[in-house]
């Protein structure tokens, strides 16, 4: 398999979150949502798919 595209992106490490359980869980969800959004953007552009709203 030939690699035709390389994606490098950084995310905040949610394991370093401070605060109570609720605040730490919020940080994990934030990073999860950022990963989801960036992957959707990447694959939509690479596959010429329409981007999902919301």
The pLDDT of residue 21 is 94
The string of pLDDT tens digits covering residues 2-54 is 767 677 778 999 999 999 999 999 999 999 999 999 888 888 877 776 666 65
Residue 48, token pair as written in the block? 């010429």
Q: How many Cβ atoms from other residues are within 10 Å of residue 34's Cβ?
A: 14
The pLDDT of residue 3 is 67
Q: In terms of pTM, does the model score above 0.85?
A: no
The pLDDT of residue 48 is 72
Residue 7, token pair as written in the block? 């994606």
The domain locations on the chain are 17-46
Residue 49, token pair as written in the block? 């798919």
The pLDDT of residue 53 is 64
Q: Cα(14)–Cα(32) distance, rounded to whole angstroms? A: 9
């Amino acid at each position: 398999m030939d690699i035709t595209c390389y994606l490098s992106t950084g995310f905040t490490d949610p394991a370093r979150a401070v605060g109570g359980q609720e605040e730490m869980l919020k940080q994990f969800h934030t990073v999860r949502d950022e990963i989801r959004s960036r992957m959707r953007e990447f694959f939509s552009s690479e596959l010429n798919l329409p981007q999902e709203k919301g």
